């Protein structure tokens, strides 16, 4: 596993390789109710909260970027808002557990005071607590930085993945650093994270969506890689790689899903039809994994695939 010797592959190359070995699996749409005509997308994987499987999702009108993050539980095949759960004015939620404590976060978006549809900036914000209903804010990322994710490490420290943009003449890259305590997670620490090289072409970009501590002490990263076609048509694909936190060496990126594996459905805009935004990965330990993903910025789907981290743990 080398961080410097490997060369970044384009999304087109990665997609071609994935199609050659794509298994015959098909995703399914998650059905939501109790949110009116609003869309629910960019969900997390379900996690246990007070003994109940719960997921967080981005909820918004099709024609708006003003979002709410809500928590949902499954009832008779449909996901409904969890009674009494807080609602956050955020986008693109994520969850993890650090030393047994729930860490929740999302993207806080700032709109122009005169034009309520014009976004002026954004940042990642973090909350912590042992239950959803006890969540309290504790950290904020640097302005314009999305896709900051945390993970417990085998040595007792906390791994931090960042997404600085731009980096020189590159659109965006993934960074990595560590802290000893959640209280050490500051804007300055996140801004100074070491950049992982040779992952993306300069005109393409990506980010971490979820990090898993593997049995060998390495980190399995679920993320996304993206590029923009003529006419600003966006293409996003779920991907994975492994990072050695001791050496910062990382494996090449590999795709794990593409839009055609999921049922047809609407898109928020025509330029977002080919967008899958990784939300989370459930790994029951039987060689399979369930990927939860946003689809076309309008729906949430899931798909059962071969566990992409099994080969890293071998």
What CATH number has the domain bearing residue 207?
Answer: 2.115.10.20
Residues 174 and 206: beta-carbon distance below 8 Å: yes
Residue closest to 278 by CA, chosen among 249, 305, 251, 250 = 305
pLDDT tens column, 86-104: 999 999 999 999 999 999 9
Q: Does residue 141 sit within a domain?
A: yes
DSSP summary character for residue 19: H
Q: Does residue 1 sit within a domain?
A: no
State the residue range of the domain holding 137: 11-307
Residue 27 has pLDDT above 60, yes or no: yes
The Cα–Cα gap between 122 and 22 comes to 36
Residue closest to 124 by CA, chosen among 52, 60, 194, 175 = 175
The Cα–Cα gap between 79 and 57 comes to 10
Could you give the percent of the chain with pLDDT greater than 70?
98
pLDDT tens column, 139-178: 999 999 999 999 999 999 999 999 999 888 888 899 999 9
Q: Does residue 147 sit within a domain?
A: yes
Q: Mean pLDDT throughout 9-32?
A: 91
pLDDT tens column, 278-314: 999 999 999 999 999 999 999 999 999 999 999 988 7
Q: Does residue 2 sit within a domain?
A: no
- Phi, psi dihedrals of residue 246, rounded to the nearest 5°: -75, -40
Bridge partners, 102 (sequence order): 97, 129
Confidence band (pLDDT; 50, 70, 90) for 1?
A: low
Q: Does residue 124 sit within a domain?
A: yes
Q: Which of 4-8, 33-37, 66-70 has the lowest mean pLDDT?
A: 4-8
pTM of the full structure: 0.95
Confidence band (pLDDT; 50, 70, 90) for 47?
A: very high
> What pLDDT score does 138 carry?
98
Residue 41 has pLDDT above 70, yes or no: yes
Q: Does residue 4 sit within a domain?
A: no
Residue 266 has pLDDT above 60, yes or no: yes
Could you give the percent of the chain with pLDDT greater than 90?
88
Confidence band (pLDDT; 50, 70, 90) for 107?
A: very high
- Total domains in the chain come to 1
Q: Mean pLDDT throughout 23-49?
A: 95
> What pLDDT score does 4 carry?
47
Residue 77 has pLDDT above 70, yes or no: yes
């Amino acid at each position: 596993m080398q961080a410097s010797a490997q060369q970044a592959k384009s999304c087109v190359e990665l997609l071609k390789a994935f199609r050659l070995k794509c298994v015959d699996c098909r995703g399914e749409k998650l059905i939501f109710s109790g949110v009116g005509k609003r869309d629910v997308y960019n969900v997390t994987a379900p996690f246990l909260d007070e003994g109940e499987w719960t997921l967080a999702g981005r909820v918004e009108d099709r024609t708006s970027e003003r979002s709410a993050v809500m928590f949902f539980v499954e009832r008779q095949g449909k996901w409904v808002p969890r009674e009494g759960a807080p609602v956050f004015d955020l986008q693109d939620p994520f969850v993890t557990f650090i030393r047994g404590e729930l860490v929740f976060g999302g993207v806080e978006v700032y709109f122009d005071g005169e034009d309520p549809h014009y976004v002026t900036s954004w940042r990642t914000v973090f909350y912590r607590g042992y239950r959803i209903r006890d969540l309290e804010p504790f950290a904020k990322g640097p302005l314009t930085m999305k896709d900051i994710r945390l993970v417990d490490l085998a040595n007792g420290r906390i791994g931090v993945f960042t997404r600085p943009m731009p980096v020189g003449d590159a659109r965006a890259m993934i960074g990595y650093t560590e802290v000893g305590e959640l209280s050490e997670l500051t804007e300055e620490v996140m801004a100074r994270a070491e950049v992982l090289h040779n992952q993306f072409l300069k005109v393409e970009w990506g980010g971490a969506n979820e990090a898993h501590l593997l049995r060998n002490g390495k980190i399995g990263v679920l993320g996304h890689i993206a590029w923009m076609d003529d006419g600003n048509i966006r293409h996003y694909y779920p991907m994975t790689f492994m990072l050695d936190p001791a050496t910062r060496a990382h494996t090449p990126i590999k795709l794990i899903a593409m839009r055609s594996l999921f049922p047809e459905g609407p898109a928020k805009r025509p330029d977002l039809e080919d967008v899958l935004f990784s939300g989370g990965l459930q790994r029951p330990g039987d060689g399979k994994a369930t990927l939860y993903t946003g689809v076309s910025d309008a729906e949430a789907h899931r798909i059962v695939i071969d566990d992409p981290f099994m080969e890293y743990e071998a």
